[in-house]
């Protein structure tokens, strides 16, 4: 059954609700490497309940409608790989509370017969306490083998290519061998990130790190380098996933600052500078 483009565009993704605790907020921060220096008071604000703050990239996991396309009956194979993510904050993320998301299909791109479909969803997340819009997320998945349905072949989303000049800043971010096992406790229990046998059956020598964990680690680097750990200054961030990361890798985040915006990319120096996040872009307050 081929992908039904019209049915997918019209599909109403169910509203998703989520309760967030301070423990969840601290656990997410630990999962992306905050607290690596437990004497750094700037980092402690994200992992210790005293004067607790939320990391902006935590937006990616709040009230997310996981695996919705597998239940949608629109002809998709359901074989999905995360391809890109962006968020825009309208106000700082509360460290606890109840949230609901309103979700819709924003764009579907046809990469051709036998290739993939790129499906982008828009998630608008509201506080249940006062019904205020907290943030918006655009999330793109690569639906393997779903191409060839006759839809548009190019995306309308801007491509933020990094400059050709040397970066203005470089931040090295080591990851722990158990990084994926910590991060998965924030809600993504895909065995690809924990089970060696499952990883091998999917073509990887060992479990890989969650793409959103890599994205969060890059956000941590940007928060440190550009915002002095003040989360209200990091208001928007986007990137595309290009290659997998393995727990224990050291990531290098290259940053080009341009006033109140910046470009970035993330690579693994130990693997011939393999780029794992590309087309990175941030907006600063």
Active centre residues (catalytic) = 188, 193
d(CA 168, CA 255): 6
Q: What does the block give as tokens for 89?
A: 């904050």
DSSP state of 163: P
CB count in 10 Å sphere of residue 172: 10
Distances from the Cα of 102 to the Cα of 17, 46, 137, 224, 255, angstroms: 9, 27, 11, 31, 33
H helix count then E strand count, the chain: 6, 10
DSSP 84-100: EEEEEESSPPPSSEEEE
Using alpha carbons, select from 78, 52, 83, 53 the residue that is nearest to residue 67. 78
């Amino acid at each position: 059954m081929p992908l039904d483009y019209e049915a997918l565009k019209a599909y109403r993704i169910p509203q998703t609700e989520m309760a967030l605790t301070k423990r969840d907020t601290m656990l997410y921060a630990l999962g992306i490497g905050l607290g690596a220096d437990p004497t750094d008071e700037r980092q402690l604000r994200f992992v210790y309940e005293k004067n607790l703050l939320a990391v902006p990239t935590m937006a990616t996991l709040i009230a997310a409608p996981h695996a919705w396309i597998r239940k949608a009956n629109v002809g998709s194979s359901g074989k999905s790989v995360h391809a890109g993510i962006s968020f825009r904050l309208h106000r700082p993320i509360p460290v606890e509370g109840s949230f609901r998301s309103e979700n819709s299909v924003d764009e579907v791109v046809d990469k051709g017969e036998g290739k993939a479909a790129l499906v982008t969803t828009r998630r608008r997340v509201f506080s249940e306490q006062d019904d205020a819009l907290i943030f918006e997320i655009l999330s793109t998945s690569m639906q393997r083998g779903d191409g060839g349905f006759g839809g548009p072949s190019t995306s309308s989303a801007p491509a933020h290519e990094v400059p050709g000049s040397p970066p203005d800043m470089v931040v090295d971010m080591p990851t722990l061998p158990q990084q994926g096992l910590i991060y998965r406790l924030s809600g993504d229990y895909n065995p690809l990130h924990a089970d060696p046998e499952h990883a091998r059956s999917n073509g990887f020598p060992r479990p890989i790190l969650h793409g959103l964990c890599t994205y969060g680690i890059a956000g941590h680097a940007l928060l440190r380098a550009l915002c002095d750990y003040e989360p209200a200054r990091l208001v928007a961030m986007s990137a595309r996933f290009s290659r997998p990361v393995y727990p224990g890798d050291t990531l290098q985040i290259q940053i080009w600052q341009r006033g109140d915006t910046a470009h970035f990319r993330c690579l693994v120096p130990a693997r011939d500078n393999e780029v794992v996040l590309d087309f990175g872009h941030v907006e600063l307050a």
